[in-house]
Structure 1
């Protein structure tokens, strides 16, 4: 018979084992940036159906397996990109994101690389079944995600421009797939590009000292605080001008109209916080801009639903 002490030890071992497995799973999700991939997937579906897709009915869209295949390959590519990025930024993340790196220690780095290869192969395999053009599209996408993590993330201005371009690359692909070209979409793309660029520069402002110690030449490291603030404020003013252009010169309506009108005041608020130039104001600006991007996705969803009723 098993003694009470042995039974307790066995239960304790099982609990520790389950906790270890859970920590490994959470570590993988954080390392692969699963939650970022989930948000981008949601944004892709919303923008594809309500913005790029101008002719297909909802029923036809649901059964358009080619579109679902492209989005599936995009998700796998984003997860693979997140893994390879954390592999190259591991030492930096120890200082910038200590909580995440502590959890990721439950998985050896070689397993992250195995996951990276598996996700890459599956993504390219599915892309090859869709068409050779889709395959080339994802080969280019995955190459630049690796090259960004390996080299481009350390080069002044190229790092910010490449990061934002890679974020928007799947949306550009869906726009080309549906052949949806208009002034409205072009201006909306510029708006999103500028907001993402501001987010990335403000993020670099918060990690300035760590980036410098690990050899990342960012705008805040190359210029002083005042010049960096001037650059971000200038970008926010241009973003405001683009918002006004969208509101006054396009046929945008519904919740998206109110989103871009409110966006002008949001940018003014961010300019005010940046003039303050404290660390807390930068954190607040970063979170406001990130929240405003998510708000845009919701506004597009509501506007699309209203337009289809």
Structure 2
């Protein structure tokens, strides 16, 4: 038996359970989901519920169920996106694609339907409106994965909107319609649009091979860079207005940093010309988003002290 036959034989051996769990964790991007959960709770504490004590927010069963439903629906969303993008990912992300494919597609689909069912069921514990919201969210994720992401403008806008919707669920629950919340949302929306366009540059080869009509594929790298530059300039507007709110506290230092980083990002964008470099810019934007999540705690730490003292 030669080495090729031995390799094929070994590849057919069933994988240990922990390997399959790690593969599934990669498919659902557990690290992203954890970040979203942290962001939801921080936003609930520091932005959406200024009148409630810390104990009321953290031990609110309805908030817990909304977050739990979000986990299920987003995880299922990553699964269906992985299902439709299997061929594209094999070109754009060959190593990750091999890890993801340890769990077969049939099993992924079963988990997808199960997570969606559980997510809507949990949302029913809050209200029928919450269940309807998550049912619509599930449909929109499927529509994006199956159709919308193949079209330039629809794919770009829907990706950013879907990323914001988990926070919209918290926003609707607390019914807090303050200006600062909408300004924060505008800032995040622009950053997400920029990230999606940079991701299109990173995945240009695979998207082109699968005929995904992203902006980078249809209009080219130069036009995509122009559009990113315009969005960077537009992002400076919500940053300026956020800086006018005294409520943001020490989060102003985060926005100072974002301002400087975006200027550096813009210079590097026009200097860089290959996938590896674009990947570095994509990581930079991810770090900005992660830093933004944790900087929510800097909005006004006197709030947290007062809430701990309140009964």
Alignment TM-score > 0.5, same fold: yes
2:242/2:248 contact within 8 Å kept: no
1:157/1:219 contact within 8 Å kept: yes
1:278–1:252 Cα change, 3 Å: farther
Offset from partner CA, 1:167-221 (integer Å, 9 cap, x none): 1001112112111112211111111000011001001011112101102111111
Q: Could you tell me which of 246, 259, 271 is aligned with 2:254? A: 259
2:156/2:193 contact within 8 Å kept: yes
User: Bigger relative contact order, structure 1 or 2, given CA contacts below 8 A and separation 6+?
Assistant: 2
Deviation at 1:120, TM superposition (A): 0.7
| Structure 2 residue 94 is the aligned partner of structure 1 residue 83 | no
Q: Could you tell me which of 278, 281, 288 is aligned with 1:285? A: 281
Moved over 6 A (4+): none
Aligned equivalents of 1:281, 1:81: Cα separation in 2: 28
TM-score by length of 1: 0.90
Aligned equivalents of 2:204, 2:211: Cα separation in 1: 11
TM-score by length of 2: 0.90
1:239 aligns with 235
Q: Could you tell me which of 99, 106, 111 is aligned with 1:103? A: 99
| Structure 2 residue 203 is the aligned partner of structure 1 residue 216 | no
Aligned equivalents of 2:193, 2:213: Cα separation in 1: 16
**TM alignment of 1:106-255, pairs within 5 A:** 106-248=102-244, 250-255=245-250
| Structure 2 residue 19 is the aligned partner of structure 1 residue 26 | no
Structure 2 portions without partners, runs of 5+:
1-9, 306-311
1:273/1:282 contact within 8 Å kept: no
Deviation at 1:102, TM superposition (A): 1.3
Q: Could you tell me which of 35, 42, 48 is aligned with 2:31? A: 35
Aligned equivalents of 2:187, 2:88: Cα separation in 1: 30
1:255/1:300 contact within 8 Å kept: no
Structure 1 portions without partners, runs of 5+:
1-12
SS in 2 for 1:224: helix
Aligned equivalents of 2:16, 2:99: Cα separation in 1: 10
Deviates more, 1:30-39 or 1:66-75: 30-39
1:104–1:283 Cα change, 3 Å: closer
1:245–1:118 Cα change, 3 Å: same
Offset from partner CA, 1:227-267 (integer Å, 9 cap, x none): 1111001101111222122213x223322111112211111
2:3 aligns with none
2:68 aligns with 72
Deviation at 1:223, TM superposition (A): 1.1
1:191/1:242 contact within 8 Å kept: yes
Instruction: Tell me how large the CA RMSD over aligned residues is.
Output: 1.7
2:91/2:205 contact within 8 Å kept: no
| Structure 2 residue 56 is the aligned partner of structure 1 residue 54 | no
Larger Rg: 1
Aligned equivalents of 2:293, 2:75: Cα separation in 1: 21
1:282–1:306 Cα change, 3 Å: farther
SS in 1 for 2:140: helix
Aligned equivalents of 2:87, 2:270: Cα separation in 1: 32
